[in-house]
Amino acid sequence: MSKNAKYGIIGLGRFGLALAKSLIDTGEDVIVIDVDEERLGLISDFTDNVYVIHQITKDSLIEAGIDRCEVAIIGIGKNIEASLLASLHCIELKVPRVIAKANSEEHAQILRMIGAEVIFPEVDTAHRIARTLKDRMIVDFFSVGSGYSIIQVALPARLVGQTVVESNLRRKYGINIIAVNRNDKIIADITPDLVFEKDDELILVGSDSSLNSFMKM
């Protein structure tokens, strides 16, 4: 039986493998499950929590420790039946957050019907790249749904030397500063007297319309 881990990844395709490595690199405990032992060998040097299961059942997921995870990510794309089954079992096991990869709108619709969050990794990545190419100020972009996004942007020249309170981004644009990236170091304690410096990057959250207004300043 696995020790407790925050994340459980079911299906070790390209998406699952990249996600598992990224989470492990940040120090997170991850459980990884796949039907292919050879695929699991690609991650076994990074974590001991790897499990081969020949059939997706509640018992096999419990044995691996998925029921104790805070987040389960189903990276199975092509085998829709296995994807739905894994998602349904995780929801029935009361995993707080179940995220599933979809490869079609029909697949996504069924996943949503059973209560899973849906992602289209390739489509989402394409949208992020398109957004960063379209506006050179944007360093990174992530949609959080319902018309809201998180963006990382180069500090506009007119804000250099201003404090957070002087910039007054919340009142002017309805956006909030989550953090400042300064020389590849994240400043998360955003105080009113923090002074913006040249080459800072702002990590902002707000409605898409508010963020677009800010980008036009």
Task: Domain 7-119: give its CATH architecture.
Answer: 3-Layer(aba) Sandwich (3.40)
- How many CA atoms lie within 13 Å of 147's alpha carbon, on the beta-carbon side? 3
- Confidence class for position 213, pLDDT limits 50, 70, 90: confident
pLDDT digits (tens, 9 = 90+) for 169-190: 988 998 888 889 898 888 888 8
Question: Is residue 132 predicted with pLDDT exceeding 80?
Answer: no
Which class is domain 124-215?
Answer: alpha beta
Find the angle CA(73)-CA(42)-CA(59) to the nearest 5 degrees: 45
When mean pLDDT is compared across 110-124, 128-142, 190-204, the lowest value belongs to: 128-142
pTM of this structure: 0.60
Distance CA 79, CA 31 (A): 21
Domain locations in the chain? 7-119, 124-215
